[in-house]
Amino acid sequence: MIQDNQSNKRTPICRWVVTAGLRLVTAAHFGGPNPDDRVDMILLRDLDSGNFMLPGASMAGALRSALNDVSTGYRQSCISSTDHLFGGGRRDDDGDQSPLYVYDCICENAGSALRDGVAISPEGIAKDRAKFDYEVIPAGATFPLRFDLHVDRDGPSEEALLSELFTALRLLEKGEIPLGAKKTRGLGRCLATNWRLRRFDLTTQKGWAEWLGFDARNQVNSFAMQPQESIEDAFKSSGRVPGVMNNDKRTFFSVSTDAIIDGSMLIRSAGSAPEDPDMAQLSENGHHIVPGTSIAGVLRSRCLRILKSMGTTDLLSEKIVREIFGTDQTANMNYKGSASRLRTMETAITDGPVDLIINRIRIDRFTGGVVENALFDQKPVFGGKIHIELRLFAPSSHEKGLLMLLFKDLITGNIPIGGESSIGRGRLKSGGKVDLLEMTQGKEIPDSWNPEEKAPLALQERLNSFVGDLKAYIAKEAMV
């Protein structure tokens, strides 16, 4: 590895090895090739062990995207300093190779679950022939992570690379980088801990010998340090703490609360055993689940209703909804496909929900009589709490106003979640404090209030200004 006049040779200075444990907070889907038609979207599996795999490419892409948001702003396409750590982009023919090696991760302690999905029209109606199912790895599964950082004499400085890596791994550690598919609908949320790291000096013969004899799987003998809860503590133990990247350009607006299920809820999941009810509340690992897809679907439909009630034209209403909820190009070739800027969180039902099996019969709409052989049973969940969090990235002021109107309708029972809303299921009511969090250029602005009490005057004025900006935006667009 001696540098010569050929541009593709490298002169290594050192190599950092970083390992950690990743735990899924919500279910995740890392897609793989589908060998048959039994499941529409299957999980990626390791060919040797058959265990589920989180590919290094998926991890690297998520880290790069998050770091790019920090350095340039949400989904900005300009070239950023992240090219130092992750190499040239896909369209950069002259880009350098990434000095960061991200390894595939094999899960060893999880089964899988099957979920049903259906494409929903903006009006809230299921699209014809748009039902699908997909495998997920349930919450609680763990993956061993490994990152190797290769520093060259003629490449970016070690300090700059460590700063970028430190910033990205801190975001991963705090749960701010979801992984896999359906990230904007709550899947793939995760936390990282048990950090270890080691630096190998490749300018010395001893450093090379240590590197060649290194075995990351035997962490007791290969790492001098004990596992640390945070990546910052791990760097402190090594005697070298890099600085985080300055000028954080991320912006988002989020609102959250713990809402009470006012009655019952039924997000349908068909049973697999003969004795199972025909319909039951979606559950995984012994916990009842409310997926982010269910929340996003009803919000999109309500968004159109709110806008039309404010006198907005159909064209403008659809434009605003597309900008927030994204566009599926396969469904409408007139629009460029885009991901949702609104992230809805998957959540478990807590505080003692009760399961009850209910027998029902189907009624003929025309005669009012019982449909023959139409007896079925259901197992909805009664009571309990769910954590509602809506986060909008790169929001404009009028979009904040629309988000607050949606949130108000959600926690006052005007937007039911799940099936059978016509018989009162899926309605929520306020469970106490509501938290606001606004991130502007790296600065967090928190606020909170109790909906059952009068909000402080300053907060009332702030929220009313968002709704006022929405009205002003609609009036302005109507004149164009």
Instruction: Single out the residue of 466, 444, 447 nearest to residue 176, CA to CA.
Output: 444
- Calpha distance 344→436 (Å, rounded): 15
Whether 3 shows a pLDDT value over 50: the answer reads: no
Task: Give 248 or 265, the one with higher predicted confidence.
Answer: 265
Query: From the centroid of its chain, how far is CA 310?
Result: 31
**For residues 411 and 78, which has the higher predicted lDDT (pLDDT)?**
411
Asked whether the predicted pLDDT for residue 476 surpasses 60, the reply is yes
Domain boundaries, the chain: 12-238, 251-479
Query: How many angstroms separate the CA atoms of 201 and 194, rounded?
Result: 24
| pLDDT tens-digit series, residues 178-209 | 999 999 999 999 999 999 999 999 999 999 99
- Asked whether the predicted pLDDT for residue 81 surpasses 60, the reply is no
Calculate helix-pair angle for 158-173, 231-238, nearest 10 degrees.
140
The CA distances from residue 450 to 24, 217, 350, 419, in Å, are 31, 50, 20, 29
pLDDT of residue 95: 60
- Indicate if the alpha-carbon torsion angle 181, 183, 187, 191 is positive or negative: positive
Reply yes or no on whether the pLDDT at 404 is more than 60: yes
What percent of the chain shows pLDDT beyond 90? 54
**pLDDT, position 352:** 85
**pLDDT higher than threshold 50 for residue 5:** no
Residue 469: is its pLDDT beyond 50? yes
- The pLDDT of residue 4 is 45
Task: Kindly give, in sequence order, each residue whose CB lies less than 8 Å from that of residue 464, ignoring residues fewer than 6 positions away.
Answer: none
- In tens, the pLDDT along 142-179 reads 999 999 999 999 888 999 999 999 999 999 999 999 99
Distance CA 373, CA 141 (A): 42
Q: Per-residue confidence at 286, pLDDT binned at 50, 70, 90?
A: confident
Model confidence at 39: pLDDT above 80: no
Q: How far lies 78's CA from each of 71, 83, 89, 161, 250, in Å?
A: 10, 11, 11, 19, 14
Residue range 103-148, pLDDT digits in tens: 999 997 778 888 877 665 555 555 655 677 888 999 999 999 999 9
Q: Which residue has the tokens 């809820």?
A: 265
Whether 245 and 71 have beta carbons less than 8 Å apart is answered as: yes
Residues in the chain: 480
CA gap 361, 379 in Å, rounded = 14
**pTM reported for the whole predicted model:** 0.86
Task: Report the pLDDT value the prediction gives residue 1, as an integer from 0 to 100.
Answer: 40
The pLDDT of residue 214 is above 70: yes
pLDDT of residue 284: 87
Quote the pLDDT of residue 119. 63
Is residue 80's pLDDT more than 70? no
Query: Residue 337's pLDDT band (boundaries 50, 70, 90)?
Result: low
Q: What is the pLDDT of residue 273?
A: 66
Rounded to the nearest integer, the mean pLDDT of the chain is 86
Digit-coded pLDDT (tens) for 382-400: 999 999 999 999 999 999 9
Highest mean pLDDT among 7-16, 76-85, 331-340: 7-16
